[in-house]
Amino acid sequence: MAPFSLTQTLLTSHPVAYQTATQSPFLARASQGRLPKSLLGQWLANDRLYIHAYIRGIGRLLSFLQLPDVVPPLRDENAAREQSVEERLLHWMIDALVNIRREEDMFVRTAARYGVNVNLAAGAEDGRVAPGTKLEGLRRFEALFDGIIAPPGGDSAVLLPLTWLEAAVIFWATEKCYLDAWSSAAARVSDAGDRKPEDDADGGALRRELIPNWSSAEFARFVDALGEIVDAGVRREMERSKAGEEEEEELVKARLVERAMAKWRDVLAAEEAFWPAVEGSD
């Protein structure tokens, strides 16, 4: 029997919601080169603010991630050191911060080359974007990332396994939806027919540069790495529970799935609302 996978359980739990989160008229138009620069710019502006919320979320998770106090002895000095799930998660978050800052710089520079404005209207005095100007999906993601908090103190923190689970599921879920959405768009790029990218409504920004970047094999490996970390953490907790009754393992699994599922549903709703409405798509 294959080992239990929390991420696969999530992926197959709400197929209709997952489809609406990763497929939309906006993505279809993007794959066809039919998104005007104004709409692409609006979405990129929201995506840039999403990045800022994502960074805040990473910071919040870093503030309470518990790394092991002791390390297992090495077999020899040349042996690879075995890392805990929490250490692997730490390394992933460090990579995520580097990647997402590079990502923001990439699409800002790309937008500038193609004459796409990536700023939303902001206040004259504080330079901040009002909540009402943002996409509903962005507001939902800001609430999710800003809602990442340390577990309660005291004995309850000791009793709660995988205190980082909800946060890690948020990051994995949004990255997985983003990857699958743009990979699906990449698979439909041929729908544009014989039209050259430079003749697209956005001058070719999406089909030539952005979509290939957002559907790359490197990005897929990055997303899969976090999924493997989440699954490993869940399996570790299930294994630890085997010391007790058999029912205890199933109870631990059920509780972890319940916690993760709540965040999975939240992310699916946010992703669906993150794709702008496209005129004439109703």
- In-domain check, residue 2: no
CA distances from 112 to 36, 40, 115, 208, 213 (A): 15, 12, 5, 15, 17
150 has pLDDT over 90 = no
* pLDDT one-digit tens code per residue, 122-143: 998 899 999 999 999 999 999 9
Question: Has residue 19 been placed in a domain?
Answer: no
| pLDDT of amino acid 197 | 87
What pLDDT, on the 0 to 100 scale, is given for residue 76? 64
Q: CATH number of the domain that 162 lies in?
A: 1.20.910.10
* Domain span including residue 125: 25-67+77-274
User: Residue 73's pLDDT is what?
Assistant: 76
Let me know if residue 20 belongs to a domain.
Answer: no
Residue 6 lies in a domain: no
- Give the position of tokens 């000095």: 77
Domains of the chain: total: 1
Q: Is residue 197 part of a domain?
A: yes
- Does residue 8 form part of some domain? no
The answer, as to whether pTM is greater than 0.95, is: no
Angle 23-26-30 from CA coordinates, rounded to 5°? 100
For the chain, percent of residues with pLDDT exceeding 70:
91
Give the list of residues 6+ apart from residue 253 with CB closer than 8 angstroms, or none. Answer: 4, 234, 238
Mean pLDDT, residues 214-221:
98
pLDDT tens-digit series, residues 242-271: 766 666 888 999 999 999 999 999 999 999
For residue 39, is it within any domain?
yes
- Determine, yes or no, domain membership for 172: yes
